[in-house]
């Protein structure tokens, strides 16, 4: 919504007035994403999964305070989130816990 409405659809109205259900839909998506991520990563880190996910999500959420408040800031926020998600592919490491034979 922060990219599409103001820059593509050229809507100048407040997003809460233009689409009042957007916050509810985003909340449901956030909860589903967190729970499925938790289930997917549980075999890797066990009880550490929830604190790790909360820490990473909080860090990504707080990043936007340091970026410009225009379209460039939005694009940078998306780029930071995508880079954080893809970083395990680029950082050389000895493997995850679930890949090591017990």
- Look up the domain containing 38 and give its range: 4-99
Report the alpha-carbon distance of residue 100 to residue 17 in Å, rounded: 52
DSSP character at residue 66: G
- pLDDT of 36 reads 93
Asked whether 80 and 63 are in contact (CB, 8 A), the reply is: yes
Report the alpha-carbon distance of residue 52 to residue 45 in Å, rounded: 9
Domain count across the chain? 1
- State phi, psi for 96 to the nearest 5 degrees: -90, 165
Report the alpha-carbon distance of residue 6 to residue 100 in Å, rounded: 48
**pTM over 0.85, yes/no:** no
Report the alpha-carbon distance of residue 8 to residue 12 in Å, rounded: 11
Asked whether 71 and 7 are in contact (CB, 8 A), the reply is: yes
- pLDDT of 31 reads 93
Asked whether 22 and 4 are in contact (CB, 8 A), the reply is: no
Identify the segments of the chain with pLDDT beneath 70: 1-2, 91-102
């Amino acid at each position: 919504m922060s990219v599409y409405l103001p820059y593509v659809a050229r809507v100048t109205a407040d997003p809460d007035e233009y689409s009042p259900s957007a916050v509810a839909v985003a909340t449901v998506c956030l909860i589903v994403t967190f729970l499925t991520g938790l289930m997917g990563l549980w075999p890797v880190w066990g009880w550490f999964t929830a604190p790790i996910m909360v820490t990473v999500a909080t860090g990504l959420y707080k990043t936007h305070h340091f970026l410009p408040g225009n379209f460039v800031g939005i694009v940078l926020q998306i780029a930071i989130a995508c880079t954080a998600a893809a970083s395990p592919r680029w950082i050389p490491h000895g493997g995850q816990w679930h890949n090591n034979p017990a």
